[in-house]
Chains A and B, each alone.
Chain A
Amino acid sequence: MFDYTFQWRQAFKALPDMLGGAWVTFETAALSMIFGVLIALALTVMREVKNPLARGFANTWVSIARNTPSLFQIYILYFGLGSLGLHVSSWIALLAGITFNNAGYLAENFRGGLKAVPDTQVRAARSLGMSAFQAYRMIVVPQLLRIVFYPLTNQMVWAVLMTSLGVIVGLNNDLTGVTQDYNVKTFRTFEFFAIAAVLYYLIAKAIVAVARLLAWRLFRY
Chain B
Amino acid sequence: MIEIDNVYKSFGALEVIKGVSLTVNKGEVVSIIGGSGSGKSTLLMCINGLESINSGSIRVDGTEVHAPGTNINKLRQKIGIVFQQWNAFPHLTVLENVMLAPRKVLGLSKQDAEAMAVKQLTHVGLADKLKVFPGKLSGGQQQRMAIARALAMSPDYMLFDEATSALDPQLVGEVLDTMRLLAEDGMTMVLVTHEIRFARDVSDRVAFFRNGLVHEIGTPEQVIGNPQQPETIDFLKSIN
Residues of A within 8 A of B (CB): 120-121, 123-131, 134, 138-139, 142-143, 146, 218, 220-221
**Contact between A129 and B74 (Cβ–Cβ < 8 Å)?**
yes
Q: Do A127 and B104 have beta carbons less than 8 Å apart?
A: no
Give B81's nearest chain A residue, CB to CB. A127
Which residue of chain B has its CB nearest to the CB of A141? B91
Cross-chain contact B153 with A129 (CB below 8 angstroms): yes
- Separation in Å of the B154 CB from the closest CB of chain A? 11
Cross-chain contact B74 with A218 (CB below 8 angstroms): no
Distance between Cα atoms of A218 and B83 in the complex (Å): 25
**A127-B76, A130-B101 are known contacts; what are 5 more A-B pairs with Cβ within 8 Å?**
A120-B85, A123-B50, A134-B105, A218-B91, A221-B90
Contact B83–A134 (Cβ < 8 Å): no
Question: Which residues of chain B come closer than 8 Å to A120, judged between CB atoms?
Answer: 83, 85, 87
Q: List 28 A-B contacts (CB under 8 A).
A: A120-B83, A120-B85, A120-B87, A121-B89, A123-B83, A123-B87, A124-B89, A124-B146, A126-B73, A127-B50, A127-B76, A127-B80, A127-B150, A128-B100, A128-B149, A128-B150, A128-B153, A129-B74, A129-B76, A129-B77, A129-B101, A129-B153, A130-B101, A130-B104, A131-B73, A134-B104, A221-B133, A221-B135
Interface status of B48 (Cβ within 8 A of chain A): yes
Shortest CB-to-CB span from B125 to chain A, Å, is 21
Tell me the minimal C-beta distance from B47 to chain A in angstroms: 11
Given A121-B89, A220-B133, decide whether A129 and B105 contact each other with a Cβ distance below 8 A. yes
Q: How large is the interface on B (under 10, 10 to 19, 20 to 34, 35 or more residues)?
A: 20 to 34
Asked if residues A220 and B91 are in contact (CB atoms below 8 Å), the reply is yes
Interface flags for B37-54 (1: CB within 8 Å of A; 0: not) read 000000000001010000
Instruction: For A146, list chain B residues within 8 Å (CB).
Output: 91
Contacts of B85 on A, CB cut-off 8 Å? Answer: 120
| Cα-based distance from A221 to B97 in the complex (angstroms) | 13
CB neighbours of A121 from chain B (8 A):
87, 89
CA distance A146 to B77 in the complex (A): 29
Interface residues of B in 81-110 (CB under 8 A from A): 81, 83, 85, 87, 89-91, 93, 100-101, 104-106
Contact of B87 with A129 in the complex, beta carbons under 8 Å: no
Known A-B contacts A129-B73, A221-B133; the reply to A124 vs B87 at CB < 8 A is: yes
Q: How far is the CB of A90 from chain B (nearest CB, A)?
A: 41
- Residues from chain A with a CB closer than 8 A to the CB of B133 are 220-221
Q: Give Cα A120–Cα B101 distance, bound, in whole angstroms.
A: 16
- How near does chain B come to A60, taking the closest CB pair, in angstroms? 31
User: Closest CB of chain B to A148's CB: distance in Å?
Assistant: 14
Residue of A nearest to B149 (CB): A128
Q: Least Cβ distance of B89 to chain A in Å? A: 6
Which of B48, B73, B83: most chain A CB closer than 10 A?
B73
Tell me if A138 and B90 are in contact (CB < 8 A): no
Tell me the bound Cα distance from A127 to B48 in angstroms.
Answer: 7
Residue pair A128, B91 in contact (C-beta under 8 Å) = no
Would you call A124 and B76 a contact (CB within 8 A)?
A: no
The residues of B that contact A142 with a CB separation of less than 8 Å are 91
Q: Which of A120, A128, A134, A143 has most B Cβ within 10 Å?
A: A128
Provide the bound-state CA to CA distance between A128 and B90, in Å: 16
Specify which chain B residues have a CB less than 8 angstroms from the CB of A128 in the assembled complex: 76, 100-101, 105, 149-150, 153
The distance in angstroms between the C-alpha atoms of A71 and B93, with both chains bound, is: 45
For A130, list chain B residues within 8 Å (CB).
Answer: 73, 101, 104-105
